[in-house]
Amino acid sequence: MTEAAFESARIDELQRAGRFWVPIRKRFGIGAFGVNAWVAQAEGDEIVSEHVEGSSGHQELYVVVAGHATFTVGGEEIDAPTGTLVFVRDPEAKRKAVAKEAGTTVLTVGAKPGEAFEVSSWEASAEMFPLYEAGDYESAAAILREALEHGEDYGLLYNLACVESLLGRRDDAVEHLRRSIELDPRSAEAAKSDPDLDAIRDDQRLASMLS
Amino acid sequence: MSSYNVVKLDELESIPVGDRGLQWRPIRLQLGIRAFGTNAYTADVGDEIVEEHTEATYGHEEMYVVVRGRATFTLDDEEIDAPAGTLVHVPDPSVQRTAVAQEPGTVVLAVGGKPGEAFQPSPWELGFRASKLEPAEAVAYVEAHMDEYPEMAATHYNLACFRALAGDKEGALQALERAAEMDADTVRNWAEGDSDLDSLKNDPRYRRAVGT
């Protein structure tokens, strides 16, 4: 939560994270619902990448606030010029949006009915990923550690173990991978062939975790 | 129920609210959203596009999005020029907020919810939605939908007004008594000078309920 009683900003002036994503919830410190914008650089950009909300259980409302997009929800195409609202009630419905022109801007609001809003671990992973790809592992690790202060999550712990391995922080990487596997054994499967963990692959502790 | 719905902002129902030109364009209600509150508002140039209010009753954190046109927000004593694409975030429920449309076709979208709690729809929707109906229809609408909202004095009070206007004096008194049980002071303030309740004002039960 920000200290200010109120704050305003223009979507096109906010800092982007990655190619299309404008983080809004995090920028304002919103605690009651998730909200982000996606801005196309060119025609054909998949600004909302195909996904489901099965693990978050979120209902999502998409608002086309500039330009023109084509949504695909549950296999059906939706022509969505500026001013279109697309509400996806079913978290399991596959959804994506492709821009028909540069500058197309889609605002997304999401939360789970019947539960107090919690920040999705998705948000930190998505913010971290471009830094990871650019080799800025220190910054990536800082984002993951900050997100983990709000609650444990096997995916965030796994990614943190990877960047710590790449940074040569063997003990931290082993510890975070161990905890990730405790929370969800899928992390052990992923770790077996993940080159990010090669730097710690000779560690005895890793071998016993993955056996 | 389908997995998704699509609607254009311009196709949303338009319901006049208050006497300053505000048009409420219900989104949450129309789309059946259960996870957060969201509505759009439109107004002619110079008219109110966000009704002056605080969120003290509901404790909502709000974010406004100027989707089209231009609006001037006033938050407590501060003015904000808000062209299309502006986001206005108001985390503090006690901030007095309002906005005026500055260009033809201005649309403001509002999103709200209470941090740390599961979303519940706000009962003011019932009153707004019913306000343009004939009294008997308004009574039927509120009675049919009030279970979808948390119980608040305002809902029973609105029902009392609609029933009184529809000629159902007994029903109106019952609703007024229930409202007063929940929040006597506020109901007394509302009832004072509310001509909707004129047909009840000589009844001793009215005087007991509002304490006059």
Q: Which of residues 180-199 of A touch B (CB under 8 A)?
A: none
pLDDT bracket for residue B211 (50, 70, 90)? confident
Kindly state whether A70 is in contact with chain B, defined as any CB-CB distance less than 8 angstroms: no
Same domain, A70 and A131: no
Q: Which CATH number fits domain B124-210: 1.25.40, 2.60.120, 1.10.1060, 2.60.40?
A: 1.25.40
Whether residue A41 is contained in a domain is answered as yes
Residues B140-155, mean pLDDT to the nearest whole number? 94
- The chain B residue lying nearest A10, using CA atoms, is B86
Whether residue A6 is contained in a domain is answered as no
Whether residue A148 is contained in a domain is answered as yes
Taking an 8 Å cut-off on Cβ atoms, the answer to whether B83 and A10 are in contact is: yes
pLDDT digits (tens, 9 = 90+) for A10-24: 999 999 887 899 999
For B40, the enclosing helix (H) or strand (E) is strand B37-42
Same domain, A159 and A135: yes
Residue B193 has a pLDDT of 87
Render B84-141 in DSSP notation, one character per residue: TTEEEEE--TTS-EEEEE-STT-EEEEEEE-TTSB----THHHHHHHTTS-HHHHHHH
Residues B99-109, mean pLDDT to the nearest whole number? 97
Report d(CA B171, CA A98) in Å as an integer.
Answer: 54
Q: What secondary structure letter does DSSP report for A114?
A: T
Taking an 8 Å cut-off on Cβ atoms, the answer to whether B38 and A61 are in contact is: yes
What average pLDDT does the structure give for chain A? 93
Same domain, A150 and A100: no
Residue A105 has a pLDDT of 97
Kindly state whether A32 is in contact with chain B, defined as any CB-CB distance less than 8 angstroms: yes
pLDDT bracket for residue B212 (50, 70, 90)? low
Residues A67-92, mean pLDDT to the nearest whole number? 97
Taking an 8 Å cut-off on Cβ atoms, the answer to whether B118 and A5 are in contact is: no
Residues A131-144, mean pLDDT to the nearest whole number? 94
Give pTM, 2 decimals: 0.87
Edge-to-edge strand ranges of the sheet holding A68-73: A46-51, A95-99, A68-73, A76-81
Asked if residue A150 has pLDDT above 90, the reply is no
Asked if residue A62 has pLDDT above 60, the reply is yes
Q: Please choose, from the candidates B142, B23, B97, the residue with its C-alpha nearest in 3D space to the C-alpha of residue A7.
A: B97
Asked if residue B140 has pLDDT above 50, the reply is yes
User: How many Cβ atoms from other residues are within 10 Å of residue A193's Cβ?
Assistant: 7
Kindly state whether B98 is in contact with chain A, defined as any CB-CB distance less than 8 angstroms: no
Contact B98, B51 (CB under 8 A): yes
Number of domains in chain A: 2
Taking an 8 Å cut-off on Cβ atoms, the answer to whether B6 and A90 are in contact is: no
In which domain, by residue range, is A162 found?
121-210
What lies within 8 Å, CB to CB, of B88 at 6+ separation is A6, A7, A8, B63, B64, B65, B66, B73, B75, B80, B82
Taking an 8 Å cut-off on Cβ atoms, the answer to whether A31 and B115 are in contact is: yes
pLDDT digits (tens, 9 = 90+) for B85-98: 999 999 999 999 99
Burial of B197 (0-12, 13-18, 19+ CB in 10 A): buried
> Looking at A111, A141, A168, which one is the last position of a domain?
A111
Query: What is the CATH code of the structural domain delimited by B9-113?
Result: 2.60.120.10
Taking an 8 Å cut-off on Cβ atoms, the answer to whether A59 and B34 are in contact is: yes
Whether residue A5 is contained in a domain is answered as no
Same domain, A18 and A72: yes
> Looking at A91, A111, A131, which one is the last position of a domain?
A111
Residue A167 has phi, psi (to 5 degrees) of: -85, -5
Handedness of CA A181, A182, A183, A185 (dihedral sign): positive
What average pLDDT does the structure give for chain B? 95
Structure tokens at A211: 């056996």
Q: Tell me the pairing of strands B4-8 and A84-88.
A: antiparallel
